[in-house]
Chain A
Amino acid sequence: MIAFVLRRFAQAVIVMLAVALVAFVMFRFMGDPITNLLGQDATVADRQAMMERLGLDRPMPVQYFDFISRAVQGDFGISYRMARPVSEVILERLPATLELAAVSGLMALLLGVSFGVYTALRRDGWLSHVIMTVSLIGVSLPTFLIGILLIWVFAVELGWLPSFGRGETIQIGWWRTGFLTESGLKSLILPAITLGLFQMTLIMRLVRSEMLEVLRTDYIRFARARGLSSRAINFGHALKNTLVPVITITGLQLGAIIAFAIITETVFQWPGVGLLFINAIKFVDVPVMSAYLLLIALIFVTINLIVDLLYYAVDPRLRVERPKAADTT
């Protein structure tokens, strides 16, 4: 158990170091940091002094290490475009993205699993066919078009819901939440559906095919032969076995939600970190870009780690044998 956790953890650290290297190279070599700080007409002496002050004249590994240690402390430098510390800007924007992602993820998970189980158990029901057809369209539509379609129907034509922004928000400590006001909640609906729909269809299809697979297994047949109730068979036996492989993919999907938030935030002008990142790319705001890169990587690596441990907790086979099945080689 401990060896398994440690190995996973080591892998996570290696991935983070690699991503940090990319972020560092961006930070250090993209554009000219000295010119960015001093302007075009700085003297050679001024430039030299600045270089020494920033430590840019030291050997590269030292600078890399320095970059990492500052990043660990939350220091990502100053945004070129906003002239404010990057960590401050990100912290300010993070609650918006996290709230959106949490609601979408929850929606995708709950609906995805329920629809998946339903369509697997009632394979030939008309409702299953409707759900499957809609999901097929959902998978092939690009996210931003779904968002625009929703805006068109619910904001433009029906006028029920706002089409952009977060509505009214309330500040609680450093966290600015939209959960506590009516306009905040209303503003959340369309973006959350847009962001969650794709992941929901993926989870649903995965749960459905896994469940169908499991329902065909001998142990389900044997459970039937033992006269267990269909409730016990479908939800006790089949669903638990279905969820083992589903956990992995679902976990990764939740990570993908944070990434896809970039698109949704652009469609709905949602003031989160995704929109911040897009603007950073447009204006080549390198410190923001590299900080976002590290943030996203951290989120993904953490989710991966949690998923692995969860997998381990659910499947007793992994606890005794060598944890081979969870390995991705």
Chain B
Amino acid sequence: MTETLPKPAMERSGRFARLWGSDIAWSYRRSPVTIVASIVVAILIVAAVFAPWITPQNPFNPAGLNLMDGFTPPMTANEFSGNFFVLGTDDQGRDMYSAILYGARISLFVGVMAVLFAAVLGVTLGLLAGYRGGWLDTVIMRIADVQLSFPAILIALMIFGIARGFIPPGSRDQMAVWVLIISIGLSDWVQYARTVRGATFVEMRKDYVQAARLIGVRPLKIMFRHVLPNVMGPVLVIATIGLALAIIAEATLSYLGVGVPVTSPSLGTLIRIGQDFLFSGEWWIILFPAVTLLALALSVNLLGDWLRDALNPKLR
């Protein structure tokens, strides 16, 4: 935010205070829901990143699991082994607390990478379509239109299925995470492209861009100097809401059994496993992963909503 404070005030208060006093910070402080959501997201990110150091076991390592520990309810010690588990264990003796943090790690990794991929792809195509116009623009936007008429999750599923089919069976599990990232990313580039294309059109029509083109400034420079800064706000909003969608998409695909392999379960996989034990009374196997997924997706979503309103008050 380039707020024009009187100069002495700026010198006195410094960078942090300037940020604190900006419009964005003001609307943040006024929204308790956003504060809670951002704290939840921050805790989950930190916990996921540092999972190996703050969990008692590595749930991805089958050798570290003890079947004797299986089906231990939360906050109790296992009746055979005497091991204590805060959130209980699943049928394999996997500590749910560890599994959830490792699972969130995968969910977040896939989500963030997919959003990055979608954003880079979408922004690039949007710039290209807006800058070049003509048939290139028509082709890109036609594809976008057609893709937009199908639900994103279906597109992701299709791309995942197709991509997996072309990978030799031996490396399918190994590549699963990357295939997921690409499929979810490919299913979600359209919004970025549309926004950036629109902004590019507007910017291109301005006199100074025309002038810059005439005197031979390189297109790339025009795009990066003039167009991109103008669309960073909307792109950030799309990316934040996109992150929530990507996390849910990953969870859904993994729940369907076509996402990450069972040996390295994400939150969706854990929920799928847990559903088998709903009827037999081991509720904790599904409840904790489900709550974590929900908290993560909902919080990111709320952050995105808030960001959208904060950056563009006119929308409300």
Q: A residues touching B (Cβ–Cβ < 8 Å)?
A: 15, 18, 22, 26, 29-31, 140-145, 148, 151-152, 155-156, 163, 252, 255-256, 259-260, 262-263, 266-267, 278, 280-282, 284, 286, 289, 293, 296, 300, 304, 328-329
Contact = CB atoms under 8 A, between A and B. Distances in A.
Interface in B149-181: 149-151, 153-154, 157-158, 160-162, 164-166, 169
Given A26-B165, A142-B297, A148-B271, A259 B141 contact: no
Interface in B261-316: 268, 271, 275, 278-279, 286, 290, 293-294, 297-298, 301
B107 to A, nearest CB: 12
Contact of A266 (B141, B255, B297): B255
Contacts of A152: 278
B52 interface: no
A29 B146 CA distance: 24
B154 to A, nearest CB: 4
Contact of A142 (B141, B151, B166, B293): B293
A151 B276 CA distance: 12
Contacts of B294: 141, 145
Contacts of B169: 284
A293 B257 contact: no
A140 B301 contact: yes
Given A256-B151, A278-B256, A281-B157, A148 B145 contact: no
A143 B149 contact: no
18 contacts: A15-B146, A22-B162, A26-B162, A31-B165, A140-B301, A144-B255, A144-B268, A144-B271, A145-B290, A145-B294, A148-B278, A156-B278, A163-B279, A266-B257, A282-B258, A289-B165, A296-B150, A300-B149
Contact of B252 (A143, A255, A281): A143
Q: For chain B, which range describes its interface: under 10, 10 to 19, 20 to 34, or 35 or more residues?
A: 35 or more
A281 B164 contact: yes
A140 B165 contact: no
Given A156-B278, A256-B151, A278-B258, 16 more contacts: A31-B165, A140-B297, A141-B294, A142-B251, A142-B252, A144-B271, A145-B271, A148-B278, A156-B279, A163-B279, A259-B154, A281-B160, A281-B161, A281-B258, A289-B161, A293-B158
The 3 closest A-B pairs by CB, nearest first: A281-B161, A30-B165, A259-B154
Contacts of B293: 142, 145
Contact of B154 (A15, A289, A296): A296
B158 to A, nearest CB: 6
Contact of A284 (B145, B165, B255): B165
B162 A140 contact: no
B164 A284 contact: yes
B287 to A, nearest CB: 9
A263 B161 contact: no
A158 B169 CA distance: 43
Contact of B278 (A15, A141, A151, A304): A151
B248 interface: yes
A280 B258 CA distance: 10
Nearest to B166: A30
Contacts of B278: 148, 151-152, 156
User: Which of A155, A163, A266, A304 is packed against the most chain B CB atoms within 10 Å?
Assistant: A266
A29 B161 CA distance: 14
Contacts of A141: 294
